[in-house]
Structures are given as C-alpha cells and as structure tokens.
C-alpha cells in the first residue's frame, strides 16, 4: 500500500483529472451523519473548487508537485527525437491519450504532447486532436508554472520552445 501523503493548507497539489490546485482549507463536513475531514482545493485556471476526503486523497491520486529533476525528465521528452505518430483508430487513440492526461503522470503527458506536436499546425489535423494536444500542454505547463513560479502562458511558451528545439 502506498505511503499516506501529508498535505497542508497552502500546498500546491496535483489532482490527476484537474491539474494543479491549491489546498485552501481543511474542513469537517457531515455526509449522511458521518463526520468527514476534507481538503478544499481551488483550481484557479477553471475557477473550480473541489472537496476531497482526507482519507481518500491517496486513492484519488492527489499528490504534491513533482521535483525539478522529474520535470526535467518530462522536458527531455519534449526536446528529444521525434515520436512516430501511432496509427490505428482515432477513437482508440483518443481514449489512450485522455487516460494518459488524466493519470497525472507528467512523463505520460509529455509523451502525448510530443506525439501530437508532430504536424499539429497542419490543416488536416482534426479539431479533437488539437483539443487533446492543448489539454496535455496546459496540464504539463500548469505543473511547470507552479513549480517554477511562472504564469501559465510563460510556462506554455517555454514548453513550446522545447518542442521546437531539435
């Protein structure tokens, strides 16, 4: 069983399906007559607030921001050799891409970005392909921005520069 992570009010955290948020409070709430301690997490990029039971934080994949060293590994994928675009049914690939993005694993997210970046500006790219690419880019940029204390747009520009560097 994975080690129970400890979170504090004020911590920047990653919720796999929503990206980077900040724990703004720890509150006791009653659900069906049962007292539950929850983390209140705010996501500035979507103006969303999420309440995660403290006892389920690990199970839902809540985690601290990755270290700079781990982020550097993800950035190495972006600036590395081209990844060959997988062939096959688009609907199956969409599901795989979304699963990688929603896993919260920045290495998997970087792989999606790198794979879809090939020819992303070409007109034959579908709307959904561009949306998935942008979702992945924003998810990785969100964590990069929080870790390096940058604005999201600045982080996106840095990631795009890595992608265009060969």
Q: Cα(76)–Cα(57) distance, rounded to whole angstroms?
A: 30
Length of the chain: 166
Instruction: Indicate the pTM of the whole model.
Output: 0.85
Q: Cα(7)–Cα(16) distance, rounded to whole angstroms?
A: 16
CB 152 within 8 A of CB 29: no
Most confident stretch, 1-5, 83-87, 98-102: 98-102
* Distance separating the N- and C-terminal Cα atoms of the chain: 41
- Tens-place pLDDT, residues 36-53: 999 999 998 778 999 999
pLDDT in the model for residue 1: 45
Domain chopping of the chain, boundaries: 12-64, 68-163
Q: Domain 12-64 carries which CATH code? A: 2.40.10.170
Q: Cα(101)–Cα(19) distance, rounded to whole angstroms?
A: 9
Per-chain mean pLDDT for the chain:
88
Q: Work out the number of other CB atoms within 10 angstroms of the CB of residue 163.
A: 18
Asked if the model's pLDDT at residue 64 lies above 50, the reply is yes
pLDDT in the model for residue 80: 81
Asked if the model's pLDDT at residue 156 lies above 70, the reply is yes
- Tens-place pLDDT, residues 92-148: 989 999 999 999 999 999 999 998 887 676 777 788 888 999 999 999 999 999 999
pLDDT in the model for residue 135: 94
Task: Give percent of the chain above pLDDT 70.
Answer: 92
Q: Which of the two residues, 4 and 158, has the higher pLDDT score?
A: 158
Q: Domain 68-163 carries which CATH code? A: 1.20.58.1290
pLDDT in the model for residue 68: 87
Asked if the model's pLDDT at residue 78 lies above 80, the reply is yes
pLDDT in the model for residue 6: 85
């Amino acid at each position: 069983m994975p080690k129970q992570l400890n979170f504090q009010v004020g911590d920047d955290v990653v919720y796999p399906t929503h990206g980077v948020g900040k724990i703004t409070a720890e509150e006791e709430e009653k659900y069906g007559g049962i007292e539950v301690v929850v983390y209140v997490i705010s996501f500035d990029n979507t103006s969303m607030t999420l309440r995660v039971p403290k006892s389920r934080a690990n199970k839902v994949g809540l985690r601290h921001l990755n270290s700079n060293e781990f982020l550097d590994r993800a950035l190495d994928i972006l600036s590395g050799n081209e990844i060959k675009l997988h062939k096959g049914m688009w609907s199956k690939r969409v599901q795989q891409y979304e699963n990688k993005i929603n896993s919260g694993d920045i290495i998997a997210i970087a792989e999606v970005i790198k794979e879809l970046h090939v020819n992303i500006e070409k007109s034959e790219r579908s709307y959904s392909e561009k949306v998935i690419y942008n979702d992945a880019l924003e998810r990785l940029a969100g964590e990069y921005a929080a870790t390096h204390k940058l604005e999201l747009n600045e982080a996106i520009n840095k990631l795009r520069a890595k992608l265009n560097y060969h």
